[in-house]
Structure 1
Amino acid sequence: MSSARPAPHQPVADELIDLLSLERLEDNLFRGQSRDIGTKYVFGGQVLGQSLSAAQATVDPAAGRLAHSLHAYFLRAGDVNAPIVYDVDRTRDGGSFSVRRVTAIQHGKVIFFCAASFQALEDGATHQPPMPQVPPPEDVPELPPVPAHIMASLAPKVQRWLSRQGPFEFRHVHPRNELKPERLPPFQQIWFRLTQPVGDSDALHRALLAYVSDFQLLGTANFPHGISYYQPNVQMASLDHALWFHRPFRTDDWLLYSIDSPTAQNSRGLARGQIFDRQGQLVASVQQEGLIRVLPDADAARHVPAKD
């Protein structure tokens, strides 16, 4: 059974892999633990990665089919202190494709559902856009730590988020100070990789990418407005998430996340991303719409539910 708490001195990447390794309750029923990483509710990437893990566990490995797309809706905020049950419907196993529908349940209510499609690798026509011209990750410095006096002034959840040693390393090509956000064009490029090597399982790397694809994405829609998730009167929540896997990749090698936000309106922002490997191959594409509310004050943000 997966545990929500890491063993003493357990590497954080191993902890994440453990989090994505679900307990099988029945043929199509799984249970995953939750982890508080400093977000107010369950991190959306956790539910994405766990739901894809559940779907993959019901696809016959002998068929050689890998996930090529995932389309998801976040319905309710998840409780970080409770496990999540994943119910998989084996919707279709055709001659070339398999489709699974996954429903995530917590406290007796559906909090999330998605559909995932699987296909064996095939030869066919190939094209893609060029990778953005950016410095290699070795030439991009890590973000400096938040000064202690500033950290002490932040809410406990924000402190936990900013001080965590996460399983992924991020290097921002054009860093933005989220604690003093300035108005910028709505795009960014970020190199990322898992902090330690893992095995060669394509299914594992896809689940890991589903997890990390939720980082940095929606925040790009805040750039033109000079606001940040860290501000106590700003309320943000993922509404949906789409992910396409194009080519094989490794999450323990550097990948470039190129993100832009084409529009925001009606308290919703849209963000889209392209993920390239170091060789310039486009390995995945992502899109997400999310709720972005700027409320009068922090007290209003605490009392207006993000999703109702």
Structure 2
Amino acid sequence: MSSNQPDGATSGGRRRSTNPGAAGAEGPTSGEAPDGNVASSSAGGGTSTTTKQPSCFVIGPIGREGSEARKRSDQLLRHIIDPVISGLGYSRPLRADRISESGRITRQIIQHIVEDDLVVADLTDSNPNVYYELALRHAVKMPFVQILAGEDPLPFDVADQRTIMVDHRDLDSVSAAKDELARQVEAIKSGIEIDNPLTFAVDVASLRGSENPGDRTQGEILQMLEELRNTSRVTARAVNRSDVTADIDALRHFVEVVSQAGSVVDQDVDNLTNPFTSSAHSRWVKQVKQNMNPFLPYRRDTPTVDPLPSPEEPPF
């Protein structure tokens, strides 16, 4: 599991005016009512009150019954989200398939997305419905937590949001994900507001349009920082362009041909790697060595090629 921001911080770091965790405070004696409320009474039994627990809605790729997507989604809900969220004083997390009220399911889902105290967004499989629902949550400026089971890259607009990465088949990863989820929810309960791309854009536009020179300057700085960050994203993504991939494929094909023709020796092939080349590239080099023709004489009188330079840091 990993998170793309330091522990104890959430994007923006501003304070919310309400504290959803405070609503779950219990009296001297308490018990959870069937509707998710907490019923409490004084020790003498003279008074009785019902306190509304903060609510949590889960959005994610549910999938068809029996599908792999459904199995994974259920495991994330049952083994990570349910125990952590319920243990922090929220009512049982609700997912679309757990809604039992009669009525239009789409309207009910939207109502939970815009009104519930917390939303946990499972972004696995890059489901378009999930991102639509997450955008609705962004629009109402309400707290949310992102979780991802798998190695699929996040889309451009949410890639810099703090995201809990988990391998649901690895018990250590599951345990770490539960700890991180608890930390993020505790931060939300303490009153820290989580910014998102939509609120950031609105805030910057407001600052830049302010009559206060200081606010305008702050808005211009934030805008420049955002443009710089976007430029770095585009630069990083350019490394994966199809033309670069084609260049690499052509070079690899050449190396494979000359190695099989006996024009290189083992040391030449070994020099195709350095401490910063990827594990996939190292596997390919190993495969090239295995496919070298041992029966062909080495047909080159020149010295072996120099090894690749080892930069202090990876180029990308």
Q: Structure 2 length as normaliser, TM-score?
A: 0.22
Larger Rg: 2
Q: Structure 1 length as normaliser, TM-score?
A: 0.22
Higher fraction of helix: 2
Higher fraction of strand: 1
